[in-house]
Structure 1
Amino acid sequence: MSAHIGVTGLAVMGANLARNLARNGYTVALHNRSVARTDALLQAHGGDGDFVRTETLTELVESLERPRRVLIMVQAGAPVDSVIADLVPLLDDGDIIIDGGNSFYEETRRREESLRAQNLHFVGVGVSGGEEGALNGPSIMPGGSKESYDTLGPMLEKISAKYNGEPCCAWIDTDGAGHYVKMVHNGIEYADMQVIGEAFDLMRSLAGIEPREQAGVFREWNTTDLASYLIEITAEVLEQEDEVTGRPLVDVVLDSAGQKGTGRWTAISGLEVGSPVTAIAESVFARSISSQRELRAVTNATFSAGIDETLSATEKYGSAEDRQDFVEDVRKALYASKLVAYAQGLDMLVAAGEEFGWDLDLKAIASLWRAGCIIRADLLDTIMKAYDAPKDQQPKNLLLAPEFNEAINECLPAWRRVVAAAATYGVPAPVFSSSLSYYDSLRRDRLPAALTQGLRDYFGAHTYQRVDKEGTFHTQWSGDRSEIDA
């Protein structure tokens, strides 16, 4: 039997992608360092399609049709390099190695360049949707050469999620572009989850709305412009009761959020390409501070909110009408902050395209996120429409698209009230707040950066430019304070 593709690394994601491929009519050669895991997969799911059992990478490679396609599904980092090193001597010119894990895009670029010099294709593929998506249809974001996509693409498109019949898979661009787009997807996901958490906290802390009641609120919100996968499952989580204590599950889950690195990478890369992804960065910092439990225990007993903390939630927003108005304000603040996260992520993709020489199609990328992935949301259709024009006619920022500009203006008063309430009553809302500051920074005619430049010139002779004439200038601060042409 000649297999269409080989999969090495059969943990949950690798196994589910292998099953997805088999279910879609492809013969899949299976390999894992532990043969027992291969056998367990075949015993449990061998009926999903045609599989070839192999015990070594040599057997895996020998079982594949040409050009060979080998999907690596191992832990990112050194394990990927190790598998590549073992595979390369077994492959021939034109064969394709695919990395479907959450690898750092710079490592993908390095690997692609190295393997290209050896006449092999290396494709970094962003895969979103978790275990369920891997099995039933994920959002797929492939990079690598266009030539490799011509061979691999039809297979990936067939196993991807579908939105109105359209595959949520398309070639992104060369080398690490696929993993970069997946990284930004995850950064937006971080911000999206954080603002949902902030909305939950504000409604409970300031309006006394308990988790089960909030489940109904989020279900209602899922019928509005907030409709999305994350809003949908938030209702499910908030409704869940703990079997042991009978309390809301969210009250017995440790309030220390984990992370696997992609959000942090997004924030760092934003700094490197000069793109202000403040909402994403604040969401990463929010997870970091949630993990500082010992410090929080000390400061909880030491720090004061500086307000009358004897006020109950019902006294802050006492009447049913007040609560209803506040919930609507939070909904609008959540939507506006969510838009900012998408706007920042897309701006970052534009900056990265300029930095790395990628021609990134924002409309196409938005289309990949409409199904199968974690940030799938109804607003992605509107985002696609915003970028359905030649590049020189597209909005400079997503918030400038007419539909979103109108939405922000409609949300703005509520957004300000929510951020003010959070500050007044001492409830942290870092992404709500930073997103509003981002919006205000964009709309201001003048920013205090002028003073920053003056200070930099004073202590470091870093020079500055003027608003009234061309050139670069320096004030002789330690001399007669005259201005000279620098």
Structure 2
Amino acid sequence: MKLGIVGLGRMGGNMARRLRRADIEVIGHNRTLATTRELADETGLEVAESIVDLIAQLESPRVVWLMLPAGKITEDAIEQALPLLDKDDILIDGANSWFKDSMRRAEKVQTQGVHYVDAGVSGGVWGLENGYALMVGGDDYAVQRITPLLKALAPAPDKGWLHCGPAGSGHYVKMVHNGIEYGMMQAYAEGFSLMKSRDDFAIDLGAVAEMWRHGSVVRSWLLDLSADFLAEDQELDDLEPFVADSGEGRWTAIEAVEQGVPAPVMSLATMMRFSSQGKGDYGNKMLAMMRKGFGGHAIKKEG
């Protein structure tokens, strides 16, 4: 089987490596041509200097997998690729796209006879060795066609990938997945923060994390990662307390509101990301001033 991958960053590049290890032919294109050539030297993939070049090198029915940032960059790539594709070609969006964007794109793509697959991809930098969790949406024909790719990318041919339903469902499941991830991370962060605050106990956080990894009901891969870095440094003094958010936590919280389904943990975890980014600072200043106003309580001045 042969496919083209557009976007060879950390995720796309490692996916190309894993596919080549499975002897799947890959044509790659990246905005930085040097990156594509380096990966070609390493893995034997074929180089495309543009999306136009990549599609021209593929024979119909083609498979083109976009591994680009969600939003305008992905939208522009689809707009560029679509006129060049033929009936029964398959276009896969592997970005963390909003599921409603995926549903809209699928409708447009399918009017041209091209199949659209939305693929939620999880695994990060560890996916190359461990395999990727793949949540895909699309019609049966398209998913059956790309099943060899999914089996090669997943942790095992029969594990770690799922055809979730029609177009949009893959990115919907990935959105909820990331919302759960936010909640789990927040719970771990709060728990370890509580233990660190008890100076009188002098708790070894690294030892606790390592112990919890074995037999505890809270064991997980996130705990494994936490145990690793806590074994090296428990103070984390060199880090700025800033946690970025990719947008999927926001979408999950909004979806919960729109459906009227309670999701307080995922929603609050998203709000805590905003707080870490300083977006709660003004509100906290307001609180301090109100407390001073009604109770005469002292306030702290910066500097």
When normalised by structure 2's length, the TM-score is: 0.88
Deviation at 1:32, TM superposition (A): 1.8
> 1:215 matched to which residue of 2?
206
* Residues 210 and 175 (structure 1), Cα distance of their counterparts in 2 relative to 1, 3 Å cut: farther
> 2:273 matched to which residue of 1?
287
Query: Do the aligned partners of 2:135 and 2:164 also contact (CA within 8 Å) in 1?
Result: yes
> 1:147 matched to which residue of 2?
141
Query: Do the aligned partners of 1:94 and 1:119 also contact (CA within 8 Å) in 2?
Result: yes
Per-residue CA distance 1:192-220 (angstroms, 9 max, x = gap): 00000110111122465557x11111111
Query: Do the aligned partners of 1:153 and 1:170 also contact (CA within 8 Å) in 2?
Result: no
When normalised by structure 1's length, the TM-score is: 0.56
Matched, 1:255 2:241: yes
Corresponding letter in the other structure for 1:35 = L
Per-residue CA distance 1:301-352 (angstroms, 9 max, x = gap): 8879xxxxxxxxxxxxxxxxxxxxxxxxxxxxxxxxxxxxxxxxxxxxxxxx
Deviation at 1:89, TM superposition (A): 1.6
CA–CA distance in 2 between the matches of 1:65 and 1:20?
22
**1:45-444 alignment runs, 5 A limit:** 45-46=42-43, 50-134=44-128, 136-162=130-156, 166-206=158-198, 208=200, 213-223=204-214, 224-241=216-233, 248-292=234-278, 294-295=281-282
SS in 1 for 2:28: strand
SS in 2 for 1:152: helix
SS in 1 for 2:164: coil
Query: Do the aligned partners of 2:90 and 2:116 also contact (CA within 8 Å) in 1?
Result: yes
Corresponding letter in the other structure for 2:165 = D
CA–CA distance in 1 between the matches of 2:136 and 2:201?
43
CA–CA distance in 2 between the matches of 1:208 and 1:95?
65
Deviation at 1:152, TM superposition (A): 0.7
CA–CA distance in 2 between the matches of 1:299 and 1:201?
26
Identity %: 34
* Residues 239 and 209 (structure 1), Cα distance of their counterparts in 2 relative to 1, 3 Å cut: farther
CA–CA distance in 2 between the matches of 1:209 and 1:10?
48
Deviation at 1:108, TM superposition (A): 0.4
- Determine which structure has more spread, i.e. the larger CA radius of gyration: 1
Where do 5+ consecutive residues of structure 1 fail to align?
242-247, 305-486
CA–CA distance in 2 between the matches of 1:182 and 1:289?
24
CA–CA distance in 1 between the matches of 2:94 and 2:235?
33
Per-residue CA distance 1:241-290 (angstroms, 9 max, x = gap): 3xxxxxx4523211121111111111111111111110000101111122
SS in 2 for 1:141: strand
> 2:300 matched to which residue of 1?
none
Per-residue CA distance 1:117-138 (angstroms, 9 max, x = gap): 1111111100001122156411
Where do 5+ consecutive residues of structure 2 fail to align?
293-303
* Residues 180 and 34 (structure 1), Cα distance of their counterparts in 2 relative to 1, 3 Å cut: same
Corresponding letter in the other structure for 2:196 = R
CA–CA distance in 2 between the matches of 1:228 and 1:185?
14
Deviation at 1:141, TM superposition (A): 0.5
Q: Which has the higher strand share?
A: 2
Deviation at 1:296, TM superposition (A): 8.3
CA–CA distance in 1 between the matches of 2:259 and 2:168?
15
> 1:472 matched to which residue of 2?
none
> 2:13 matched to which residue of 1?
15
Query: Do the aligned partners of 1:19 and 1:135 also contact (CA within 8 Å) in 2?
Result: no
SS in 2 for 1:172: strand
* Residues 300 and 232 (structure 1), Cα distance of their counterparts in 2 relative to 1, 3 Å cut: farther
CA–CA distance in 2 between the matches of 1:290 and 1:58?
42
Deviation at 1:161, TM superposition (A): 1.3
CA–CA distance in 1 between the matches of 2:286 and 2:239?
21
Query: Do the aligned partners of 2:60 and 2:86 also contact (CA within 8 Å) in 1?
Result: no
CA–CA distance in 2 between the matches of 1:254 and 1:209?
26
RMSD: 2.2
* Residues 220 and 175 (structure 1), Cα distance of their counterparts in 2 relative to 1, 3 Å cut: same
SS in 1 for 2:207: helix
Query: Do the aligned partners of 2:275 and 2:281 also contact (CA within 8 Å) in 1?
Result: no
Q: What is the aligned residue count?
A: 289
Corresponding letter in the other structure for 1:127 = V
> 1:446 matched to which residue of 2?
none
- Stretch moving more, 184-193 or 126-135: 126-135
Runs of 4+ that moved beyond 3 A: 206-211, 293-304
SS in 1 for 2:262: coil
SS in 1 for 2:64: strand
CA–CA distance in 2 between the matches of 1:254 and 1:210?
23
Query: Do the aligned partners of 1:157 and 1:170 also contact (CA within 8 Å) in 2?
Result: no
Query: Do the aligned partners of 1:237 and 1:250 also contact (CA within 8 Å) in 2?
Result: no
Corresponding letter in the other structure for 1:6 = G
CA–CA distance in 1 between the matches of 2:171 and 2:158?
21
Per-residue CA distance 1:24-71 (angstroms, 9 max, x = gap): 11010011233222112223x23xxx4111212232112224320001
Deviation at 1:225, TM superposition (A): 1.8
